[in-house]
Amino acid sequence: MNVFVLDTSKKPQNPVHPAKARLLLSEKKAAVFRQYPFTIILKKECLDVEPKPLRVKIDPGSKTTGIAVIDDNIGEIVFAMALMHRGQQIKNDLESRRGIRRSRRNRKTRYRKPRFENRTRSKGWLPPSLKSRVHNIETWVNRLCRFCNIQAISMELVRFDMQKIENPEIAGTEYQQGELLGYEVREYLLEKWGRTCAYCGKINIPLEIEHIVPKSKGGSDRVSNLTLACIACNQKKGNKPIEAFLSNKPELLKRMQAKAKTPLKDAAAVNATRWDLFCTLKKTGFPVETGSGGLTKFNRTIRGLPKTHWLDAVCVGQSTPEKLFQVDKTVLTVKANGYGNRQMCRVNKFGFPRTKAKLTEKKVKGFQTGDIVKAVVTTGKKVGTYIGRVAVRKSGSFNIKTAEKTIQGISWRYCRVFHSSDGYSYNTSC
């Protein structure tokens, strides 16, 4: 991916190739401003060159959202990332807290009257697990606006038509979102079954929609009765019941029956947040272009691009350039971790404290839990260089979690902040 550049007053300039950035750093003409996304800041004032306008494109997803920065004039992919949400983690944490509070009320502790009359929800309220997805995208759009000259936004507004998924035969005045007719069910099945044949597991081959319970045996067109199969498996199964077809593969049969009943949770999450995300992006003041899921798939198919989250983002909307280059870019994978929680200490399964109260001071020796640090240990049993997330201790002896393992007992004197904690973890991949 290209490197973002800021001038001496921290105003965005044109992104440069990584080789150009290395040259500027080696010649001491620039310094590292931020590690993720990698950004440099110039040490001397540059000529008044107007940075070229760029467009940020977003493909919202329930678990992962693709984000790309595009130069519409030449079709260059300037930056690409995959943003992994933590909605399920938030839901689990809230359920755990609810369980602990309920158990606490059942014990012989002081009684507090329930407070329900003063709890009102504002207009457009979303559950925290869904709102976090909108906040994650908003955060990264604002960051990208600080690092490059964003002048427009594109987002995929329509992903799945829930009525069409539940009842493919709906038509006429009952069908309210007709522009995606015929696309919704197939695209949903492709994501639900991982774009693989449900029977043989083959990938990257033509797949057909297949009825788990054949229509000749009373099966319906509901999405819970549909799966994907390659041509060979579809013809081999014919109108056999799935129990007979998979009689010698009981584990596969059990797995398929369970997966077929998977709720439409991911599709519902995207649908519930799409308009809130659209209104949030409108507040930036930039023109917001919207596109359908069918258009995204069409753009990606005619350009011969593989199916990935960030390439879906590249192909969102009518503004997608005819020719794209740098489609083999290094992609930044960002995972939302949050800034921690307000829980004072860890509890056991019964809700009783099992650890000491956490530190009152968030920082220890200038470090805080979640910082990415580089530790160069020169003496002792743990000699070496370690880069990873730090967990601070009041004693000044920290734990560093690297990609491979966790190293305990590293003194703060050996550590240097590589990237300050910002609620996200990072990884780069090609």
**What is the rounded CA–CA span in Å between residue 339 and residue 119?**
26
Share of the chain above pLDDT 90, in %: 47
pLDDT at 430 over 80: no
- CATH for 54-86+127-158+265-336 is 3.30.420.10
Residue 16 DSSP one-character state: B
pLDDT at 103 over 80: no
299-324 pLDDT tens trace: 998 988 988 999 999 999 999 998 88
Helices and strands per DSSP (H, E), number in the chain: 11, 19
pLDDT of residue 178: 45
| Mean pLDDT value of segment 259-279 | 83
pLDDT at 425 over 60: yes
117-128 pLDDT tens trace: 667 788 889 999
pLDDT of residue 224: 81
pLDDT at 1 over 60: yes
Instruction: Read off the pLDDT band of 148 (50, 70, 90).
Output: very high
**What is the rounded CA–CA span in Å between residue 357 and residue 359?**
7
pLDDT at 326 over 60: yes
pLDDT at 165 over 70: no
CATH topology of domain 363-429: SH3 type barrels. (2.30.30)
pLDDT at 69 over 60: yes
Q: Which of 43-52, 112-121, 281-290, 376-385 has the lowest mean pLDDT?
A: 112-121
pLDDT of residue 163: 57
Instruction: Read off the pLDDT band of 361 (50, 70, 90).
Output: confident
**What is the rounded CA–CA span in Å between residue 266 and residue 98?**
23
Which distant-in-sequence residues (6+ apart) come within 8 Å of 180 by Cβ? 158, 161, 164, 292, 293, 294
Which of helix, strand or coil describes residue 4? strand
Q: Crossing angle, helix 128-147 and helix 87-106, to 10 degrees?
A: 140
pLDDT at 271 over 70: yes
| Mean pLDDT value of segment 118-142 | 90
Query: Two tokens at 233?
Result: 């498996």
CATH topology of domain 163-260: DNA Binding (I), subunit A (1.10.30)
Specify which of 134-148, 171-185, 188-202, 363-377 reaches the highest per-range mean pLDDT: 134-148
Instruction: Read off the pLDDT band of 218 (50, 70, 90).
Output: confident
Q: Crossing angle, helix 265-282 and helix 128-147, to 10 degrees?
A: 40
Which distant-in-sequence residues (6+ apart) come within 8 Å of 133 by Cβ? 60, 62, 65, 85, 87, 269, 273, 277
pLDDT of residue 288: 95
pLDDT at 266 over 50: yes
pLDDT of residue 170: 58
395-417 pLDDT tens trace: 899 999 998 889 999 999 999 99
Which amino acid appears at position 253 of this protein? L
pLDDT of residue 345: 81
The domain ranges of the chain are 4-42, 54-86+127-158+265-336, 163-260, 363-429
Q: Crossing angle, helix 293-302 and helix 184-192, to 10 degrees?
A: 70
Residue 401 DSSP one-character state: E
Instruction: Read off the pLDDT band of 276 (50, 70, 90).
Output: very high
| Mean pLDDT value of segment 361-368 | 87
32-55 pLDDT tens trace: 999 999 999 999 887 667 899 999
Task: Report the candidate in 202, 209, 213 with the shortest Cα–Cα distance to residue 246.
Answer: 213
